[in-house]
A = this chain, B = another copy of it.
């Protein structure tokens, strides 16, 4: 998927690979549907890993700086895979044998609802204040709306304050800004791995900040109760390991619901991780971009903002966006919530480079305040469609005898294809991924998420039924060793089974 440069150091192994230019993140969930029976690699366990994406690269263009060369490399390496996809995208009418995308974590199930809402007349408002230089933190009317929205949906014990809100053009920018204002060059954040790989770039490209992976195992051992379980003990060990290498760790990144695991942290776990961070004076960045995409009510998801008391509110920074929960990754709206005014101000100072149009700020305020539409139309329908799509893909995987994780949140299933890798190597993982692509289905491999066990793949299910059906047919053909894409794909209806949108 992504071409590593010749003689690359360990550094490129932390690059997000397929997740680079698009959101090729892959999620699953943490209810193990079938036990992960295959043992992890027999070598000594790796407990942490320090990524330094800038090591070992050199710019081969005399016109770019060395960091410019690295920045370009990230684009090129991701492009290598995406070029294949974009040259041959599936289209049911124009290119029915094109590539089906189960790789990009986008919710394509609700464009009908969104188009209708965003086309209403209240959305197009042009007034001088929206066309002039904004408050770089975001217009006050929008920050107030965000505070009310998060208070309600995060179930905060007290109303959240507009003063603590900063609005940016997406969470990639929030990561970039936070890394820069919290860390010196070369300092690091802890992050449980596997994780959404693009974060490597977000903290590195501008901020030159590294990630220290807290490697999680699929095998359930010791006190663990589920695969890839994060514990304070693992955090402590990774922190000690980094310290022993002279790496200064400044913070911890938590993704909740997790991507690609789809894991949900319980309030008690959250509290423990926050206490761990407080003990070590670490900032905690909590990425909650999937918080409204929990489609199984029984999961009992809790936002960090719902906790009665944050152990270290001055070092706790929460991010959310409309990209996932409102299926609008192209809208570019993200937000930071932090009680730390210094951090909010420093991030605001960078917002000249992360600003979004006043017209879009108006649209977002209109959307977020429309509680009737969100509660009575959008969320119930979105959750129903996510659930149906998930059920279908989960059923297909079960039929194939493939173990997978899935807990009822996010857009993805984290599938264990280790049985198809005789040697259990990343090279095999990559070859399998390439076979999928050759058979016209794009998925994401675990290495892109810094998963330490070869053989895990992320499959995105938040797409229309006929595309899912065709995609899963192709997955099956690859796994069953059939070398040809069927000329006449069998029973995938181009009409959705129950209704047009599923």
Residues in chain A within 8 A of chain B (CB atoms) = 21-23, 61, 63-69, 71-72, 74-76, 104, 106, 108, 111, 114-115, 118-119, 123-124, 126-134, 136, 169-170, 172-173, 176, 180-185, 187, 198, 201-202, 205-206, 250, 283, 314-315, 327-333, 340, 342-343, 345-346, 348-350, 352-360, 363
B residues within 8 A CB of A360? 357, 359-360
| Given A133-B330, A176-B353, residue A181 in contact with residue B124 (CB < 8 A) | no
Indicate if the CB atoms of B329 and A169 lie closer than 8 Å: no
Indicate if the CB atoms of B71 and A346 lie closer than 8 Å: yes
In-complex Cβ contact of A67 among B130, B184, B315 (8 A)? B184
Q: How far is the CA of A184 from the CA of B66 in the complex (A)?
A: 7
10 A–B contacts, CB within 8 A, in A order: A63-B340, A63-B342, A65-B180, A65-B187, A72-B342, A106-B132, A115-B127, A129-B330, A170-B352, A176-B353
B residues within 8 A CB of A106? 132-133
Q: How far is the CA of A360 from the CA of B119 in the complex (A)?
A: 14
Indicate if the CB atoms of B67 and A181 lie closer than 8 Å: yes
Q: What's the minimum C-beta distance from A474 to chain B, rounded to whole angstroms? A: 21
Indicate if the CB atoms of A169 and B342 lie closer than 8 Å: no
| Given A63-B314, A115-B127, A331-B131, residue A68 in contact with residue B182 (CB < 8 A) | yes
Q: How far is the CA of A363 from the CA of B128 in the complex (A)?
A: 17
Q: What's the minimum C-beta distance from A90 to chain B, rounded to whole angstroms? A: 14
| Given A118-B126, A184-B67, residue A133 in contact with residue B349 (CB < 8 A) | no
Nearest-CB residue, chain B, relative to A205? B350
B residues within 8 A CB of A130? 330
| Given A330-B133, A354-B354, residue A75 in contact with residue B345 (CB < 8 A) | yes
B residues within 8 A CB of A250? 65
Indicate if the CB atoms of B68 and A346 lie closer than 8 Å: yes
Q: What's the minimum C-beta distance from A46 to chain B, rounded to whole angstroms? A: 29
Indicate if the CB atoms of B72 and A349 lie closer than 8 Å: yes
Q: What's the minimum C-beta distance from A325 to chain B, rounded to whole angstroms? A: 13
| Given A75-B349, A329-B133, residue A63 in contact with residue B358 (CB < 8 A) | no
Indicate if the CB atoms of A363 and B354 lie closer than 8 Å: no
Q: What's the minimum C-beta distance from A175 to chain B, rounded to whole angstroms? A: 9
Q: How far is the CA of A358 from the CA of B329 in the complex (A)?
A: 9
Q: What's the minimum C-beta distance from A239 to chain B, rounded to whole angstroms? A: 19
In-complex Cβ contact of A330 among B124, B132, B181, B352 (8 A)? B132
Q: How far is the CA of A74 from the CA of B347 in the complex (A)?
A: 11
Indicate if the CB atoms of B181 and A64 lie closer than 8 Å: yes
B residues within 8 A CB of A124? 119, 123-124
Q: What's the minimum C-beta distance from A186 to chain B, rounded to whole angstroms? A: 11
Indicate if the CB atoms of A315 and B128 lie closer than 8 Å: no
